[in-house]
Amino acid sequence: MAETKKEEKGSVTKANLLEKFNQILNARLSGQDPIALGIIPGNPVTKKVLTADKQADRLIKRADAAKDDWLDGYKNPSRNPIEASIAAQDKWVNKITNKDIQDKRVKNLKKTSLTEMQGIAEKVGAEGFAKGLADRKDKILRVRKELQPLQQSVSDAIQAMSDVTDSDREKRLTSARKLMIEVGKKR
């Protein structure tokens, strides 16, 4: 019997992982329970992704707690963000196919300076950072409501995979990354 459970749990392979994710997501988006539909096994111990409300509240609360660190980070960056962004141009180009947009990005990055960015951050101040997020709570909540079922579907798909061996755990990690990329594409 333990062998049967192991096979069932490990039945999500790389080939059908995206299909499983889409099945879970489509069920959730249509208001159906993927457990009741038999898409994923029922497990009362399964960790659930936080609700959109809790995610939004937590983000705003943590931003308020980190506001002084945010300002300090702007004043004392570990590297120049403009130079780092220009250096990462090849990575960015791989994702963007429009040549005009590619060229415009570096051109605009060269127009700004770290001093200018730091000056804006200084004017906004730590309280401005926290207030800016708090003022956008409705938007944050809307986005979190959009993302939460996607995140839960990723969690369910990953939890349905085997985690018995190191190879299984490695597959879970790489699959989680691939599915979060899919989440980004769906949003």
pLDDT tens figures, 62-114: 999 999 999 999 899 999 999 999 998 888 888 777 777 778 888 888 998 99
Q: Mark residue 51 as left, alpha or beta (left: phi above 0; alpha: psi -120 to 50; beta: remaining).
A: beta
φ/ψ (deg, to 5) at 79: -155, 165
Cα–Cα distance, 10 to 14 (Å, whole number): 11
pTM for the predicted model, two decimal places: 0.61
φ/ψ (deg, to 5) at 46: -55, 130
pLDDT in tens, 143-166: 999 999 999 999 988 988 888 999
Contact yes or no for 24/157 (Cβ under 8 A): yes
Continuous H helices in 46-136: 52-65, 67-75, 81-87, 89-95, 99-111, 114-135
